[in-house]
Structure 1
Amino acid sequence: MSRLKAVAERNPQAGFRAERRDCGASVPQGLLKAARKSGQLNLSGRNLSEVPQCVWRINVDIPEEANQNLSFSATERWWEQTDLTKLIISNNKLQSLTDDLRLLPALTVLDIHDNQLTSLPSAIRELENLQRLNVSHNKLKILPEEITNLRNLKGLYLQHNELTCIPEGFEQLFNLEDLDLSNNRLTTIPASFSLSSLVRLNLSSNQLKSLPAEISGMKRLKHLDCNSNLLETIPPELAGMESLELLYLRRNKLRFLPEFPSCKLLKELHVGENQIEMLEAEHLKHLTSILVLDLRDNKLKSVPEEITLLQSLERLDLSNNDISSLPCSLGKLHLKFLALEGNPIRTIRREIINKGTQEVLKYLRSKIKDNGPNQSDSIMETAMTLPSESRVNIHAITTLKILDYSDKQTTLIPDEVFDAVKSNIITSINFSKNELCEIPKRIVELKEMVSDVNLSFNKLSFISVELCVLQKLTFLDLRNNFLSSLPKEMESLIRLQTINLSFNRFKILPEVLYHIPTLETVLVSNNQVGSVDPEKLKTMENLITLDLQNNDLLQIPPELGNCVNLRTLLLDGNPFRVPRAAILMKGTAAILEYLRDRIPT
């Protein structure tokens, strides 16, 4: 009876007050009974204009069933009920919360997103155990200072409100790891705003003209999103944030690319839609770990030769700049994606650019002057004629490490093609635009070397085990074939990062893909895929890009919103009705947030 004693000490009348408060049909007794057992209560989407008293007093009042003299089993004794630790009242019509909130001191999760709240009660300071507070998509204009008393708070979600300032004392939230202030009306960030435990900070879609230098005190910060603000400069102290991995600065007014001498872990830098005019070696030399560099929609006129310093770079977006030529050294990078649309490039024919990334890189590599002693020999061998009356580019083999036998309309790759490799090292194979019905068996001879294979535009209806032994394979292009399944043996491709399966005959996402943990890019557009498994997708921790355009998806599971690592999710051209087109147009982050908000609890 210790629980009843505790209640009585707080309120002598409470232990004898029956739970007959205004619950009505909006909160069924069965729901309250279940909440007493589990400690969790979900009242989302019930059209509530206020929180019923029976909810605030769920830990205080004697249950209705106890007053009906019902017998209780050992597992249902009401005096041993669990304190409420999780309360979800999202997607309602709440305009305010009362100070009765203090009657739920055990809460660790409070979710009130998608309501019409204009303020929070000062009693929120008494929720000392709170770890996650979601007040996003409301009408908050200010935050009470009492919110800084929530010392155990780890996640605070305030996006899509009307906040114009942040209260002083925020640094007291020393356990806070995730803070979302996006889509508000903030014009400044206080200098005291330095949260030592913060890992993720979202300040996007505000009216910030600058960031305080003190932000560099967030030594654990990995993800900083400042998209869609009015930033003209970035404080140099930002360069000292050693843990920073993802930095988003799109849609601002930056004229210079910041330098990042201490950001050795920076993997993604997004500075598209700014006013950057120049890219210099100083900007690039410290980005040793960068995988994604987004420079689209700026005013760049050239790309420096020093771009080769970015040896880890995989995705480079230069769309919509003023670039008229590219350095041949760009061909030395192992890019998987290169965007050049909207530039007045005159040194590369449009037809080559239209063929995609690998063709552009191949062209640039072919233009690199080879001053080695065997240059003349290589040139003579280039035109070597094989008995098959087709030519093998020996220069590509010896200099560019590419075995290219594409666009021959052949049903078999002649042995002479593989014989031409001899003792050379080959990293890429291009057998695209032929009429192959099966993968050449001799491809296994290159299993210790090859990292890129292009078998697109053939007539493959199955994948043989020969391909599955290429354990160094990182890039595989199988688009425009007749494939409807992939073999389980592909699990052995333990380095595969990108696979293109577009324009085939898949009706489901191949099961084996879920078991290749290194995959970063999966392209399955223009198939007949009718469903995806969000739980299995979530296990693909490295997956960044998923293209499901033009398939047969009738619905998008809300749980897909939990795949927070996705940076690009393409869903256009499917017959589902929600999310609506307006949501899709907002981009991947908006789609994932929309889906997350609709996950049933």
Structure 2
Amino acid sequence: MAAARRARAGDSRAGFRRAADEQSPAVPQGLIRAARKSGQLNLAGRGLGEVPQHVWRINLDTPEEAHQNLSFGAADRWWEQTDLTKLILASNQLQCLSEDIRLLPALTVLDVHDNQLTSLPSALGQLENLQKLDVSHNKLKSIPEELLQLSHLKSLLLQHNELSHLPDGFGQLVSLEELDLSNNHLTDIPTGFALLINLVRLNLACNQLKNLPADISAMKSLRQLDCTKNYLETVPSELATMASLEQLYLRKNKLRSLPELPSCKLLKELHAGENQIEILNAENLKHLNSLSVLELRDNKIKSVPEEITLLQKLERLDLANNDISRLPYTLGNLSQLKFLALEGNPLRTIRRDLLQKGTQELLKYLRSRIQDDTTSPSEEPPVTAMTLPSESRINTHAITTLKLLEYSEKQAAVIPDDVFDAVRSNPVTSVNFSKNQLPAVPPRIVELKDSVCDVNFGFNKISSVSLELCTLHKLTHLDIRFVMSVGLPFPMTDQHWLKRNTQKSGQALRLAVVKGLVSVTESFSEMLRGYLGANQKTILGVYLGGITVEVTLLLEGNPFRTPRAAILAKGTAAVLEYLRSRIPT
């Protein structure tokens, strides 16, 4: 054991004095001999609690076999050994590394990932030839300042540690091409980070970053930037100047809009799902001519601009779980598109069975409608060469072909008269005025009383529903979701009016009143017990559990926390039973 202590103390003759029991069974001598010839030593997954001293001194001490064999063949010339350049100590139980690592100055690769390291030795800074350092999946809380002396380091992997900050002089690692800092506790990026002008891949995912420094744009070589799962509300406008950027990951942040990237001509993948993006502007898209993947799922996007057709190299488009009610027919012109995800959107103009047929059938359908969607100049405002397709005021094709009067997502406080004028003698069965700022039901709705069956006033600021709705004697579906809490006009809650209206249309009134309208649903549920019975089709509301009549619930596309998904999957009866069980007695 004295020999072992002398070896740890750096005794130059320790190689001659090691006892036989000092040789760790986890490091066979055959590996050591081979490492002297190849310059590479792989000790991964050997259960090491510490690195044996003779590993650090592999190129310094005379091997023990030299004393046992005095005649050497060509294969036994230990003095012709190669300096160790690659050392792999991954997947062991190391809690620290010895400062004796300085005895391996020729190392170019050091891999100690998947251990239990809480610190790194300052002697790392003396490994001036080191090009790759992998210390990921450990328990590091900081990295030593000496590490910044590694001027030839090209790859530094620090992911899955407990780092809360980085040294200010991090920019000294000017040769870095790959830096992975994901899954740590970083709250900011140090100054001087932008000096890493040779960096190609930067991974900042799964940290606690609230912003990115503007000087990140100085990384002119950066091709991949991953900021997934942070707290970013915006990205610096300077990001738009990163001309080499090819992959940008912004998923799981708090972004309200996509960044404009006019100079990112090489960008191929843009991932921004699970944010709070509401508007997708033409400016966000028109410069991304090289884009092949656009992922925007789980946002709050309400519409898709016609300018998306400029992305002619697009292969994957993920718009799942947004608030999109219609698609531009010109989307069918994306000839390279192989995957289009739309589930979880309240699409009204495309049948569900068509959506289930897959991307190519859907694109074929959209292409077939492009010709029909063109509008006559006499029915539209003057169109100039500068008019964008997304600026169309009235869709007369929808009026004549789909029997749909649509003026949604305009943020309008009133419905212009020319919208109603466009109907003329064409009977419309559906009206969609959703997602505006309407304070009341437009009085001219009465002009459609003889034909309209489906009315959508969802997502407005309507504070009271006027009597005009009671004149729509064919009304079967009224959507007033997400408006201010209102009550229905008396005739609509009257049994006789409902019975008369139902007999004329042949089916019961379908009322969508999600998130609000408590006064409606309470009075409605009482009235329904005495009248609707088996005729009642669909009622959505807060106190649905109190309704005893037959009910069919359409709840897909809602982010319910309660009831649980398992209950929702069992159907209407199970949901109503659950709701009844929660009503206070």
Q: Is the aligned partner of 1:23 residue 2:23?
A: yes
- Identity, % of aligned positions: 70
Q: Aligned-pair distance for 1:306? A: 1.1
Aligned to 1:307: 308
1:325-361 per-residue CA deviation (whole Å, 9 max, x = no partner) reads: 0011111112111000110101000000000101111
1:120-178 per-residue CA deviation (whole Å, 9 max, x = no partner) reads: 00000001000110000000000111111111111111110000011121111111111
Between structure 1 and structure 2, the one with the greater Rg is 2
Aligned to 2:40: 40
Q: Aligned-pair distance for 1:75? A: 3.6
Contact 1:108 1:131 in 2 (8 A): yes
Aligned to 1:87: 87
Q: Map of 1:80-159 to 2, 5 A cutoff?
A: 80-159=80-159
Aligned to 2:348: 346
Aligned to 2:357: 355
Contact 1:154 1:178 in 2 (8 A): yes
Structure 1 residues 321 and 371, CA gap change in structure 2 (3 angstroms):
closer
TM-score normalised to structure 2 length: 0.60
Corresponding residue SS for 2:202: strand
Q: Is the aligned partner of 1:74 residue 2:62?
A: no
Q: Is the aligned partner of 1:269 residue 2:270?
A: yes
Q: Aligned-pair distance for 1:80? A: 1.2
Mapped partners of 1:297, 1:108: distance in 2:
44
Q: Aligned-pair distance for 1:74? A: 2.3
Aligned to 1:185: 185
| Gap regions ≥5 residues in structure 1 | 1-10, 373-601
Mapped partners of 1:19, 1:156: distance in 2:
38
- What amino acid does structure 1 have at the position aligned with 2:35? A
Aligned to 1:330: 331
Q: Map of 1:110-509 to 2, 5 A cutoff?
A: 110-194=110-194, 195-334=196-335, 335-369=337-371
Contact 1:19 1:63 in 2 (8 A): no
Structure 1 residues 323 and 18, CA gap change in structure 2 (3 angstroms):
same
Q: Aligned-pair distance for 1:313? A: 1.0
Structure 1 residues 253 and 78, CA gap change in structure 2 (3 angstroms):
same
Q: Aligned-pair distance for 1:191? A: 2.5
Contact 1:16 1:62 in 2 (8 A): no
1:165-209 per-residue CA deviation (whole Å, 9 max, x = no partner) reads: 111211111111111111111110013102111001111011111
1:549-574 per-residue CA deviation (whole Å, 9 max, x = no partner) reads: xxxxxxxxxxxxxxxxxxxxxxxxxx
Mapped partners of 1:74, 1:283: distance in 2:
68
Mapped partners of 1:239, 1:19: distance in 2:
64
1:497-556 per-residue CA deviation (whole Å, 9 max, x = no partner) reads: xxxxxxxxxxxxxxxxxxxxxxxxxxxxxxxxxxxxxxxxxxxxxxxxxxxxxxxxxxxx
Q: Aligned-pair distance for 1:15? A: 6.0
Aligned to 2:60: 60
- What amino acid does structure 2 have at the position aligned with 1:363? Y
TM-score normalised to structure 1 length: 0.59
- What amino acid does structure 1 have at the position aligned with 2:332? G
1:369-402 per-residue CA deviation (whole Å, 9 max, x = no partner) reads: 2699xxxxxxxxxxxxxxxxxxxxxxxxxxxxxx
Aligned to 1:497: none
Aligned to 1:577: none
Mapped partners of 2:175, 2:87: distance in 1:
21
Corresponding residue SS for 1:115: coil
Mapped partners of 2:10, 2:170: distance in 1:
37
Q: Aligned-pair distance for 1:35? A: 0.7
What CA RMSD, in Å, does the superposition of the two structures yield over aligned residues?
A: 1.7
Structure 1 residues 331 and 255, CA gap change in structure 2 (3 angstroms):
same
1:461-492 per-residue CA deviation (whole Å, 9 max, x = no partner) reads: xxxxxxxxxxxxxxxxxxxxxxxxxxxxxxxx
Q: Aligned-pair distance for 1:13? A: 6.5
Structure 1 residues 86 and 19, CA gap change in structure 2 (3 angstroms):
farther
Q: Aligned-pair distance for 1:301? A: 0.5
Q: Aligned-pair distance for 1:274? A: 0.3
Mapped partners of 2:40, 2:265: distance in 1:
43
Contact 2:170 2:190 in 1 (8 A): no
Q: Aligned-pair distance for 1:55? A: 0.6
Structure 1 residues 72 and 339, CA gap change in structure 2 (3 angstroms):
same
Corresponding residue SS for 1:110: strand
Mapped partners of 1:337, 1:12: distance in 2:
62
Aligned to 2:522: none
Structure 1 residues 139 and 81, CA gap change in structure 2 (3 angstroms):
same
Contact 2:312 2:334 in 1 (8 A): yes
1:443-474 per-residue CA deviation (whole Å, 9 max, x = no partner) reads: xxxxxxxxxxxxxxxxxxxxxxxxxxxxxxxx
Aligned to 2:552: none
Contact 2:270 2:291 in 1 (8 A): yes
1:186-236 per-residue CA deviation (whole Å, 9 max, x = no partner) reads: 110013102111001111011111100111111000011110111110000
Contact 2:45 2:91 in 1 (8 A): yes
Corresponding residue SS for 2:217: helix
Q: How many residues align?
A: 362
Contact 1:145 1:168 in 2 (8 A): no
- What amino acid does structure 1 have at the position aligned with 2:68? Q
Mapped partners of 2:78, 2:280: distance in 1:
69
- What amino acid does structure 2 have at the position aligned with 1:173? L
Mapped partners of 1:114, 1:12: distance in 2:
28
Corresponding residue SS for 1:303: coil
- What amino acid does structure 2 have at the position aligned with 1:350? R
Aligned to 1:415: none
Corresponding residue SS for 2:65: helix
1:6-38 per-residue CA deviation (whole Å, 9 max, x = no partner) reads: xxxxx9962684262743211111111111011
Contact 2:168 2:191 in 1 (8 A): no
Contact 1:19 1:62 in 2 (8 A): no
Structure 1 residues 342 and 370, CA gap change in structure 2 (3 angstroms):
closer
Corresponding residue SS for 2:41: strand
Q: Aligned-pair distance for 1:67? A: 1.7
Structure 1 residues 61 and 278, CA gap change in structure 2 (3 angstroms):
same
